[in-house]
Amino acid sequence: MIFLGVRAAARLGRVVPLAEIVTQTWYADLSAYPPWLLVLAGSFTLALVIWILIKLMKLALWLALFGVLIGGTAWAIWLLLN
């Protein structure tokens, strides 16, 4: 009904969640900490994130390996029986 000049009500109840997130920003002042401590904490945090990603990648590769083995075996048995 926008062409007739009547604006339909918003489906979200006139609230736009993304706009609410953007307008409420948080800022942490880290200038009270020594720079070496921030670099050390950031390095350990990044190392932990990389370690978790390595573990997830290892799990994904194991799942892919077993998927290929089970799928290939099932396909070979299906071809053998047909």
Give tens-digit pLDDT for 26-76.
Answer: 678 888 999 999 999 999 999 999 999 999 999 999 999 999 999 999 999
Rounded Cα gap, residues 5 and 8, in angstroms: 10
Q: In the structure encoding, which two tokens stand for residue 64, read together? A: 């892919």
What would the two tokens of residue 11 be? 């489906």
Model pTM?
0.57
pLDDT of residue 77: 97
Q: Return phi, psi of residue 33, to 5°.
A: -90, 150
Using alpha carbons only, how large is the chain's radius of gyration in Å? 27
| Spatial distance between the Cα atoms of 59 and 53, rounded to a whole number of angstroms | 10
